[in-house]
Structure 1
Amino acid sequence: QEQGQLDILVNNACALHEQLTEPGGFWQKPLEIVDMLNVGLRSAYVASYYAAPLMTKQRNGMIIFTSASGAVHYVYGPVYGAHKCGVDKFAADMAVDLQDYNVAALSIWMGALQTERLQLLIESDREKYGYIENMTETTEFTGHLIWALYTDNNIMAVSGQTLIGAELAKKYGITDEGGRQPTSYRETHKVAPPPRYSNIIR
């Protein structure tokens, strides 16, 4: 309403239950952990639903989903993985619908973020989580990557893809705070986003 347009939507919200990272099978943790899907996936869909008419009308815009490598390997249980996998698929499929309107949809695998919550997790068991500390990214880092994508004239060529933030940083010459260059999940976890196939069924 204030600006009369919407250029970038970043879907980043999710509900992280405090017992998500505790040991045990998914049935041994509180059922409320599944709220991550309701808040994370549903809110991303709803926000994109309302953003799309604005962006398609102006024939310009970008919808971003923040994600992580848990989309393709086990992290904290099935709910976490389903959320990450889900937003990656949102980007892939929304890109198909948005293609003719010059609106891009992308998912970005972020690294571990330097938040108070993560620091508390590291401090709770340094033997188990201490290694994460040297792999963290500032919360601003992905913001710089998003702006680089938005100002890239070839953005539509990668619309629908899931991209690794650390690799985008190298492509655009972006470093994190203190000149740090985060490492790609391809190196640290030996994983990568899966391919997207061109089959479209309507």
Structure 2
Amino acid sequence: MQGKIALITGATAGFGEACALTFAAAGYHLIITGRRKERLQELQQQLEKTYHIHVKPLAFDVRDRAAVNEALGSLDDSWRRVDVLVNNAGLALDLSPVDEGNPDDWDTMLDTNVKGLLYMSKAVIPWMKARKQGQIVNIGSTAAKTVYAKGNVYCASKAAVDALTQGMRIDLLPYNIKVTAVHPGAAETEFSLVRFKGDESKAKDVYKGFTPLSAKDVADVVFYCCSLPPHVCINDLVLTPTAQANAYYIHR
């Protein structure tokens, strides 16, 4: 199998699915992960048929360290030549004052957004170190930069992604591995529907009165960061709709 390989987590929807489409269109072979096995298989068939690439679907939850290690450990050497790891799997749950928050929601956000990213990175980094090349893109959020009311734990989880990205960048300098954080603002995906646990009315209200980012907008930026010359690394990038200044200020 010739050509570059990208591993994308949370590929069943939103930014992850859009990244899969964008990298596939550029000729990358893909390892796509997510919890929804049928959706992964549908995406595999679509990408292989459309772009004539190889796609390896791996269904597991990034929160489960044993499942991460088992799934990635099952890959043979031809798939371990990962050029790009996109740590995209993440979510927000609810909007509540910290004293009214649901600890189960906290666990889900922290285990997915922070620990899942760590588990995936720890599994893939040795492959990149051995080849002394590669790039890791961690999907953060404007919530990493500006804390907003009732966003407490979600904001903390994305601030952790920001800090981890900086730490990874330093630790991996001797191995010629790029590490990039991409922090999107308001983007109309399943994000708000998940946050409000299926309440479509609340989810739609988030994007009223302005034009939000699309998943493709974010995927295009991620791909750009991965398409630069070997000596160029974007360390930290924030993108928002034109109507949004940060996680708090949106002109509607």
TM-score strictly above 0.5: yes
State the alpha-carbon separation in 1 of the partners of residues 113 and 247 from structure 2: 26
User: Structure 1 residues 74 and 145 mapped into 2: Cα distance closer, same or farther (>3 Å)?
Assistant: same
Of 103, 124, 138, the residue aligned with 2:202 is: 124
Of Structure 1 and Structure 2, the greater helix share is in: 1
Find out whether 1:183 has 2:227 as its counterpart.
Answer: no
Worse-superposed segment, 148-157 or 49-58: 148-157
State the alpha-carbon separation in 2 of the partners of residues 61 and 78 from structure 1: 33
State the alpha-carbon separation in 2 of the partners of residues 97 and 54 from structure 1: 15
Give the match's secondary structure for 1:109: strand
Amino acid at match of 2:239: G
User: Structure 1 residues 51 and 131 mapped into 2: Cα distance closer, same or farther (>3 Å)?
Assistant: same
C-alpha contact 1:121 1:129 (8 A) present in aligned 2: no
Question: How far did 1:11 drift?
Answer: 0.9
Amino acid at match of 1:183: T
In the alignment, what sits opposite 2:189?
115
Listed one character per residue, the Cα deviations across residues 115-168 of structure 1 (whole Å, up to 9, x for unaligned) are 245366672276x6344651232x23222222211121166443xx321135xx
Find out whether 1:136 has 2:207 as its counterpart.
Answer: no
Matches within 5 A, 1:1-202: 1=76, 2-17=78-93, 20-21=94-95, 24-35=96-107, 36-75=109-148, 76-118=150-192, 123-124=201-202, 129-131=206-208, 134-137=211-214, 139-153=215-229, 156-158=232-234, 161-166=235-240, 182-183=241-242, 186=245
State the alpha-carbon separation in 1 of the partners of residues 209 and 84 from structure 2: 30
State the alpha-carbon separation in 1 of the partners of residues 230 and 248 from structure 2: 29
C-alpha contact 1:164 1:185 (8 A) present in aligned 2: no
- Structure 1 gap ranges (5+): 167-181, 191-202
Give the match's secondary structure for 1:53: helix
State the TM-score, normalized to the length of structure 1. 0.70
C-alpha contact 1:122 1:133 (8 A) present in aligned 2: no
Question: How far did 1:52 drift?
Answer: 0.9
Question: How far did 1:80 drift?
Answer: 0.8
State the alpha-carbon separation in 2 of the partners of residues 184 and 62 from structure 1: 31
Number of residues of Structure 1 aligned to a counterpart in Structure 2? 168
Give the match's secondary structure for 1:135: coil
Ranges of 4+ aligned residues in structure 1 off by more than 6 Å? none
C-alpha contact 1:122 1:132 (8 A) present in aligned 2: no
State the alpha-carbon separation in 1 of the partners of residues 182 and 141 from structure 2: 7
State the TM-score, normalized to the length of structure 2. 0.58
State the alpha-carbon separation in 1 of the partners of residues 186 and 216 from structure 2: 12
Question: How far did 1:38 drift?
Answer: 1.4
User: Structure 1 residues 155 and 32 mapped into 2: Cα distance closer, same or farther (>3 Å)?
Assistant: farther
Question: How far did 1:37 drift?
Answer: 0.7
